[in-house]
Chain A
Amino acid sequence: MAWRDFKQKVKRQMSDILEIPSDVVLDLPKVVILGNLQVFIENHRGIVEYTSETVRINVSEYVVVVKGENLLLRNILPEEISVDGKITGVFFE
């Protein structure tokens, strides 16, 4: 675990120095929220749960939870997901 933390730290420093976007280097999800209409998640690891009120999406180390009404998965690609509907909240678990 310590080794992994150390690796993360080095990576972060490298991306800061070289000014490379950290989502590329650190393998982080990119979450774009468009008003309360759309949530767009890049770099995901699949859906955990999907109902019309809640969408749970697995990203590298945690789960992104999108809450709302009438949620609809506009599209699903191996790398990206976009969720449409009346969004009330986005959480990380």
Chain B
Amino acid sequence: MFIFKLLSFLTGYVRIMVRGNNLEKFINMAAGRGIFLWDIKRLDSRNILVSARLSAVHPLRHIARATKCRFEFKDREGLPFLLSRARRRKSLLAGAAVFLLGMYMLSSFIWFVDIEGNKKITDGQILESASKAGLKKWVFKWNFTPSRVESVIKEDYPEISWAGVYVRGTRVKIQVAEKVIPGVRDEHPAHIVAAKAGLIKEILVLSGNPAVKEGDTVVPGQILISGIIPGPGLSIEGENNPGQERSGVMENTIVQAKGLVRARVWYEGYGEALLEEKITRLTGDEVSRVCMKIAGKEIILKGPKNIPFIESTGESQVKKPLQWRNISVPVELITEKYHETERYTEQRTRGQALALAEQRAMAQVSRVMPSGSRVMVREVKEVSVKNPENLVRISVFVETLEDIGVEKQFKP
């Protein structure tokens, strides 16, 4: 059936209204002569509507004359009629052709070049190298070959171990993989000094000269492991062997000090909490509004005119159209969002207030405490004042064990 419809569309067909007294004879004669009629519909006692192929119109005239019927054309459908209609509208055809051509032209340019996977080499360097091979923005797709671009990028930058160029429509994706080159070790004379005050718990020297002992108290900036190892021969031996030995033995060895110095460090924190506190909080209700601002006048496009909340916090986003130099279009699109807030008094029991104050105090401590440190002792103390008040105060005292050594360079 579909094939038949397609065929009749291609060859073209007409709807004919046949008028006469002997319509059955008309149909029989047409069928008998091999003329194909379809969708025959009775309109009233003297009229029927018939579909017939374009090529059958001429024989149908003869049959109509023979059966004393008359007919008139109601509809002309199919490709031949569409074409003849299109022939009268030349500019429409031209427009369609221009559209197709433009579409094809625009899609054959490279619009975007994306670069992925580069860490040390900049996008600009890769683009420059790609443009040598013919790949840049606004070139025709067939003016470069991806494999050549790949090899040029690899040649230009030996630190790129692999490059891939993929063309996806009007977008080109350049993927590179950089070689991982082992870095040079940073060798320079250095001490290890204390970053903060503490009591030395243990000291492990990998290189250098320990300047403190376990149990010492140190202040910030104090040298813990010295990068200067003094020559051992400052004593009697030096005197016994003068001359050639002295110069070698006397000299200090200068190294980059390395080691681990763990110390006990103290922190103090303070926190307080009200037993009765007035706070504002969001109710979860919100209203958004979209306005358009044209030359200083605001026009509400969507949303209520008045904000239905007693108290609210708002945020607004302003979208401006393109701006060039000093010229700008005086139109702004403003999207506003209001969140309803309410005031409310939080009542806390003493226990809750204490817990909250302690939490705040600990938060204060953990802000300055490095993440890797181990808490050894933790003391929580309530600070009491003479007059009873609507407030609890907590001070915490934390003792941790942590590595306090930091490297500090020096010039020998």
Nearest-CB distance from B370 to chain A (Å)? Answer: 84
Q: Is A32 an interface residue (CB 8 A)?
A: no
Q: Is B28 an interface residue (CB 8 A)?
A: yes
Contacts of A47 in B (CB 8 A): 24, 27-28
- The answer to whether B24 touches A48 (Cβ under 8 A) is yes
- B23 to A, closest residue via Cβ: A50
Q: Is A63 an interface residue (CB 8 A)?
A: no
CB-contacts of B30-49 with A (<8 A): 30-32, 34, 36-42, 45, 48
Task: Knowing A46-B31, A46-B32 are in contact, say whether A76-B38 is a contact too (CB < 8 A).
Answer: yes
- The answer to whether B24 touches A76 (Cβ under 8 A) is no
Q: Is A35 an interface residue (CB 8 A)?
A: no
Nearest-CB distance from A31 to chain B (Å)? Answer: 17
Q: Is A49 an interface residue (CB 8 A)?
A: yes
Nearest-CB distance from B305 to chain A (Å)? Answer: 57
Nearest-CB distance from A56 to chain B (Å)? Answer: 8
Query: How far, in angstroms, from A51 to B45 measured CA to CA in the complex?
Result: 8
Residue of B27, B32, B34, B45 near A73 (CB, 8 A) is B27
Contacts of A50 in B (CB 8 A): 23-24, 27, 40, 42, 48
Contact digits for A76-88, partner B, Cβ 8 Å, 1 yes 0 no? 1110000000000
- The answer to whether B42 touches A51 (Cβ under 8 A) is yes
Residue of A46, A71, A78 near B42 (CB, 8 A) is A71
Q: Which of B34, B39, B41 has the most CB of A within 10 A?
A: B41
- The answer to whether B42 touches A76 (Cβ under 8 A) is no
Nearest-CB distance from A34 to chain B (Å)? Answer: 14
Nearest-CB distance from B67 to chain A (Å)? Answer: 13
Nearest-CB distance from B60 to chain A (Å)? Answer: 13
Q: Is A52 an interface residue (CB 8 A)?
A: yes
Main secondary structure of the interface of A (DSSP, over half): strand
- The answer to whether B41 touches A72 (Cβ under 8 A) is yes
Query: How far, in angstroms, from A17 to B106 measured CA to CA in the complex?
Result: 74
- The answer to whether B39 touches A74 (Cβ under 8 A) is yes
Query: How far, in angstroms, from A55 to B23 measured CA to CA in the complex?
Result: 13
Task: Knowing A47-B27, A50-B24 are in contact, say whether A74-B32 is a contact too (CB < 8 A).
Answer: no
Query: How far, in angstroms, from A52 to B23 measured CA to CA in the complex?
Result: 13
Task: Knowing A50-B23, A51-B42 are in contact, say whether A75-B37 is a contact too (CB < 8 A).
Answer: yes
Contacts of A77 in B (CB 8 A): 31, 36
Contacts of B41 in A (CB 8 A): 52, 72-73
CB-contacts of B8-57 with A (<8 A): 23-24, 27-28, 30-32, 34, 36-42, 45, 48
- A52 to B, closest residue via Cβ: B42
Query: How far, in angstroms, from A71 to B43 measured CA to CA in the complex?
Result: 11
Query: How far, in angstroms, from A88 to B161 measured CA to CA in the complex?
Result: 81
Contacts of B37 in A (CB 8 A): 73, 75-76
Contact digits for A14-54, partner B, Cβ 8 Å, 1 yes 0 no? 00000000000000000000000000000000111111100
Contacts of B39 in A (CB 8 A): 72-75
Query: How far, in angstroms, from A12 to B397 measured CA to CA in the complex?
Result: 116
Contacts of B45 in A (CB 8 A): 51
Residue of B30, B31, B38 near A74 (CB, 8 A) is B38
Nearest-CB distance from B89 to chain A (Å)? Answer: 34
Contacts of B40 in A (CB 8 A): 50, 72-74, 76
Nearest-CB distance from B7 to chain A (Å)? Answer: 13
Query: How far, in angstroms, from A78 to B37 measured CA to CA in the complex?
Result: 10
Query: How far, in angstroms, from A57 to B27 measured CA to CA in the complex?
Result: 12
Query: How far, in angstroms, from A76 to B35 measured CA to CA in the complex?
Result: 9
Q: Which of A48, A71, A72, A76 has the most CB of B within 10 A?
A: A76
Task: Knowing A72-B39, A72-B40 are in contact, say whether A78-B31 is a contact too (CB < 8 A).
Answer: yes
Query: How far, in angstroms, from A71 to B39 measured CA to CA in the complex?
Result: 10
Query: How far, in angstroms, from A80 to B102 measured CA to CA in the complex?
Result: 52
A residues lining the B interface (CB < 8 Å): 46-52, 71-78
* A–B pairs, 23, beta carbons within 8 Å: A46-B31, A47-B27, A49-B24, A50-B24, A50-B27, A52-B41, A52-B42, A71-B42, A72-B39, A73-B37, A73-B39, A73-B40, A73-B41, A74-B38, A74-B40, A75-B36, A75-B37, A75-B38, A75-B39, A76-B36, A78-B31, A78-B32, A78-B34
For the complex with contacts A73-B27, A75-B36, 14 further pairs of A-B residues with Cβ separation under 8 Å are A46-B31, A47-B24, A48-B24, A50-B24, A50-B42, A50-B48, A51-B42, A52-B41, A73-B39, A73-B41, A75-B39, A76-B37, A76-B38, A78-B34
7 closest Cβ contacts across the A-B interface?
A: A73-B40, A46-B28, A75-B38, A52-B42, A76-B31, A47-B24, A76-B37
